[in-house]
Structures are given as structure tokens and as C-alpha cells.
Structure 1
Amino acid sequence: MTLDMIINATVTLLVTIDPVGLAPLFLAVTGGMDRAQRRETGTRAIVIGFAVMVLFAVLGTAILALFGVTLAAFRVAGGLLLFWIAFEMIFEKRQERHENTANRAISADHVRSVAVFPLAIPLIAGPGAISALVLLSGDFAGPLERAALIGIVAAILALTWVIFILAERVDRLLGETGRSVLTRLLGVILSALAVQFVADGVRTLAAA
């Protein structure tokens, strides 16, 4: 395990989870709740999201093996998925899709269960984050490496929890323009990481 691996994993998960981008969505789905209820909802969502992500961090490669999928093939497929997410971030389609998901949850009167849907799944532990974890689990194969990967997930979700608690201030501080610029910047970074995943997968498949 190298410092580059840790940085790559941190950046990939930070971008796919996008804690800052979740702030306005958290405010939307917890509309009408008081501060204590918001804190409880945010905490529950983080715990559930963490459990889901740890499952894929620990069993990611085993799940692939169960379906007979090689890690190299998943690198290509996962990289393409992450690239699509990056594309949506750059052109602000991902935020719009997340907002639609949040609005559906509210209109369907699921306010009591918003910690599970849509906060924990799919806003926190979404397809992008899960795909990234499965990809990263191939590099973080040993017990210490897996522990480090889980630690990275825990740190990012701790940051997400803090942002949930301070959601009103964060949203007011960044404003719509700030969120837009940050989302596009993170999208460009994610697109580069996605291309690297695809390139590594293609290289491994070609050598096989």
C-alpha cells in the first residue's frame, strides 16, 4: 500500500460521494424537520450508508468472483460508469437527477424513512461509490489495506455527517454559483480517474 493508492482512493470516493453536493439535497428531504430530527436523520443515513459501503469494500472482489467477472473487466465497466457520472457532474445532470429522486421521496410521503431512501441509498452509497469501492478493493486486497480503505470511507462519511449538521451554513456559504463550479471541477477530476481505471483494465485484459 502506497501513499498514491491512499490519495487515489480518497479522491475517487470523495468525488463520487460528493459530501458538499449532498448538503442542499439533505435540506430538501428533511424539510419541515427540526434540528434534532435532522441530526437523527443524518446520523442514521450515514450509519446505513457506511454499512452498505463496507460490505462492498470487504466483499467486492468476492462478489465479482461469484458471477465469474474478472477485476480487469469490472475496471473497464466501472470506469465507464464513473466517466458517465463525471459527464453528468460537468454538465450538471447528476444534481438534477438527485434532486428528482429527493423530490419523489418527499411527494411519496416517505419523510420518516428518508434516512434509508434517498439519503443512504442512492445519494450516499450510490452506483458510483459502490463501483469505485469494488474497483478499489482489488488494489486494497490485504487485511491492512482493506482496513485502510474502510478508514477512508469512515473519514469521508464523517465529513459528510458534519456537512449534514452544518447544511444550512454550507449551502448559504457556497451559493448556487459556488456549488456549480465545485461540481464541475470534481467532475473533471473524476473523469480523469475513470479513464485511468479503464486504461488499467484494458491493459490487464490485453496482457491476459
Structure 2
Amino acid sequence: MDTATIVGKLLPLLFNMMGPIGLIPVFAAVTARMDGPTRKAVALRTVLFAATGVLLAVLIGEAILQSWGISNSSLVVAAGVILALTAVRSVLMTATTPAVPEDGPDPKATAVRPLAFPTIVSPQGIGVVIIFTASLTTGAEKATVLAVAAAIVALDYGAMRIAHWFMATIGMVPLMVLGAVFGVLQVALGVEMILDGLSLAGAG
């Protein structure tokens, strides 16, 4: 798979599952009582935890999948199922924001949960990254997947830095619209990947 195809398929998926759409309202809610420097420190700590989590998950997850000898067609079908089911689930479920303790959240703990895990490093997002990495064969292809994931985490840092301004000035409506659009695209791509995987299995 060439670089443009990998980026074209993976970037919108991770933007929807690990990106600013879900992160901005959560960050704004859990850091509402923090001052500017503390919010900046929380944002930086969050992306460091998230980047480390993604890298470890990919290294461990790919090694396990490879040791099991799972076929490439099965990996493609699995990715398609994850995409389709999580997109349908996100469309049907009502969005919620985490509860904030009355005495204010602990900045260090908040960076780990709920911000890094599971808002950025979501189970479905990590699952897709691991399956993409395991299904590709060359080092350049695998590096492209990690580069896309790193770009999303970097984008998340920028989103956290403007989260309070965004929620106060623009609000939730654009995020809800983007979530719906990307959700439909995710369902379509998931179905396409399932069909591709079944075709690969039939050809084999």
C-alpha cells in the first residue's frame, strides 16, 4: 500500500477516533477550574502519556498478532468490523462529559485519565493502528502509520491549548457536525474493508 493511500484512509479515521472532536469538550470540562499555566502543563503531560501509550500498544500488539500467524485478510476484516461497529455506536450514543470533583481535579491524574486514556488513546483507535501496522509489510509502511498517529497526537496538543476559547466562542455544534460526517465515512470505510478482506480470503 503506498504512502498516500495509507494517509488518506488512516488520517480521517484517527482524527475521528483519537482527535480533537472528542477531546476539546472533555479537556475544557475537566480543566475548567485550572489556571492557564496548569492547563498548558496538563496538555503537555497528556500528549506525552498518549504518545507513549500508542507506541507501546503498537509494539506489543503487532508482536502478538504476528506471533499468532493471523492472515492479512483476517486483519483487514477485523479492522473493518471495528470501524463499522464503533461508528454506529458513536452515532447512537449520547455524548457525555466526565464528572469533575467539587474540590477540583488533580492535574497529574487528569492528564492520564480521562485525557490520555481513553479520550486520545481510545481502544478503537489503538485497535485500528495496531491492525494497520500488522497488516502492512514494509518498514516504510509501518513508519507511515506511526507518523499519522504522531500527527494526530500533535494536533491534539494544539486542540487542548485552544479548547476553552473554542468552547466559549464557537461551541459544540461544529464538533457534533464533524462527528456525524466522519462517523458516516467511518461506517462506509469499515464496510469497504470487510469486503476487501473477504475478497482477499477468497482469492487466497
Q: TM-score range by the shorter chain?
A: 0.7 to 0.9
Compared CA separation, residues 145 and 75, structure 1 to 2 (3 A): closer
Could you say which residue in structure 2 is the equivalent of 1:170? 166
**What are the ranges of 5 or more consecutive residues in structure 1 without an aligned counterpart?**
none
Match of 2:122 among 119, 126, 133: 126
Could you say which residue in structure 1 is the equivalent of 2:203? 207
Residue deviations 1:142-167 (CA, integer Å, cap 9, x gap) = 22222222221121111110010000
**Which of the pair is proportionally richer in helix?**
1
Number of equivalenced pairs: 202
Could you say which residue in structure 1 is the equivalent of 2:87? 86
Residue deviations 1:161-203 (CA, integer Å, cap 9, x gap) = 0010000122234323222211111111111121122222222
What is the percentage of aligned positions where both structures have the same residue? 26
Match of 1:174, as an amino acid? I
Could you say which residue in structure 2 is the equivalent of 1:45? 46
Match of 2:113 among 117, 120, 124: 117
Query: Does the aligned pair in 2 maintain the 1:75–1:201 contact within 8 Å?
Result: yes
Could you say which residue in structure 1 is the equivalent of 2:192? 196
Could you say which residue in structure 2 is the equivalent of 1:2? 3
What is the CA–CA distance in structure 1 between the aligned matches of 2:64 and 2:12, rounded to whole Å? 24
TM-score normalised to structure 2 length: 0.86
Query: Does the aligned pair in 1 maintain the 2:43–2:157 contact within 8 Å?
Result: yes
Query: Does the aligned pair in 1 maintain the 2:62–2:130 contact within 8 Å?
Result: yes
Q: CA deviation at 1:67?
A: 4.3
Q: What is the SS of the residue equivalent to 2:115? A: helix
Could you say which residue in structure 2 is the equivalent of 1:95? 95
Residue deviations 1:46-84 (CA, integer Å, cap 9, x gap) = 111111112333444322133454443343233222212
What is the CA–CA distance in structure 2 between the aligned matches of 1:172 and 1:108, rounded to whole Å? 23
TM-score normalised to structure 1 length: 0.84
Query: Does the aligned pair in 2 maintain the 1:45–1:120 contact within 8 Å?
Result: yes
> CA RMSD, aligned part only?
2.4
